[in-house]
């Protein structure tokens, strides 16, 4: 039971708003020491995990790349592109993005899009530009709602799309948990039953996006 102290460290650290990386490292150290491991063994475990997952550090290359693109006017270019398409709306744009995001997540390509890679530098500015076409005098509060809807669209598409891919971590976790409980189930069966849920999520959130367009049409521009 002492190994659960690591969970307590995570809860307290996040509650006090400490650096998440430091909180996770401290939690791992506490868990390892509570399990009877020496400091050297804990450090060796860290090194082994880093060595076996070195590809994870490649993600850090995305941050400076996105920063350079934004400095060069990536968001302005995205706004200009959308401003030239008169038929585009916030709902239609985000619905198209959700479709692409959900399909790519369903085949395991979960890292080719996301908040840092696409939502902040591209999708949200394009959605704002579409909102400006509907209402040139859009308020700052409405802009925030459009940004939030852009982020939510990515979250929903990824969350319900990734479970369709049978080799994703969530599917394997469920298979392992059910096997421990004496329930034998194949990953393919779980991913197959995730398809109706993904389709339902697409139509439900898609309806919310299109209803936003309807409300925008009914609200006269100020």
Residue 58 lies in a domain: no
Asked if 47 and 80 sit in the same domain, the reply is no
66: closest CA among 54, 55, 78, 56? 78
Residue 46 has pLDDT above 80, yes or no: no
Please give the pLDDT value at position 185.
82
Answer yes or no: pTM beyond 0.85: no
Q: Poorest-confidence range of 138-147, 165-174, 195-204?
A: 165-174
Q: Is 63 domain-assigned?
A: no
Q: What pLDDT digit, counting tens, does each position of 50-88 carry?
A: 655 554 555 555 666 666 666 666 667 766 767 666 678
Q: How many domains does the chain have?
A: 2
Using CA atoms, how far apart are residues 135 and 129, in angstroms rounded to an integer?
Answer: 10
Give the whole-number percent of the chain exceeding pLDDT 70. 81
**106, part of any domain:** yes
Domain with 116, as residue range(s), is 73-218
For residue 65, tell me if it sits in a domain: no
Whole-number mean pLDDT of the chain?
A: 81
How wide is the angle at C-alpha 171 spanned by C-alphas 25 and 162, nearest 5°?
90
Q: Which residues of 136-173 are buried (b: 16+ CB within 10 A; e: fewer)?
A: eebeeebeeebbebbebbbebbbebbbbbbbebeebee
């Amino acid at each position: 039971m002492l190994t659960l102290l690591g969970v307590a460290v995570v809860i307290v650290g996040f509650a006090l708003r400490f650096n998440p990386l430091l909180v996770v490292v401290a939690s791992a150290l506490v868990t390892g020491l509570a399990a009877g491991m020496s400091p050297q063994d804990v450090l060796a475990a860290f090194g082994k995990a880093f060595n076996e997952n070195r590809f994870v550090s490649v993600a850090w290359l995305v941050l400076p790349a996105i920063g350079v693109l934004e400095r060069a006017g990536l968001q302005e270019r995205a706004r200009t592109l959308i401003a030239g398409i008169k038929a585009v709306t916030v709902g239609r744009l985000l619905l198209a993005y959700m479709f692409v995001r959900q399909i790519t997540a369903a085949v395991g390509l979960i890292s080719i899009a996301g908040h840092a890679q696409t939502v902040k530098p591209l999708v949200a500015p394009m959605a704002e530009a579409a909102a400006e076409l509907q209402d040139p005098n859009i308020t700052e509060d409405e802009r925030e709602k459009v940004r939030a809807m852009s982020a939510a669209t990515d979250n929903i598409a990824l969350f319900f799309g990734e479970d369709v891919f049978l080799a994703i971590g969530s599917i394997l976790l469920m298979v392992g948990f059910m096997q421990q409980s004496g329930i034998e189930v194949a990953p393919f069966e779980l991913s197959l039953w995730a398809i109706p849920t993904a389709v339902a999520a697409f139509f439900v959130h898609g309806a919310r996006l299109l209803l936003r367009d309807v409300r925008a049409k009914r609200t006269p521009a100020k």
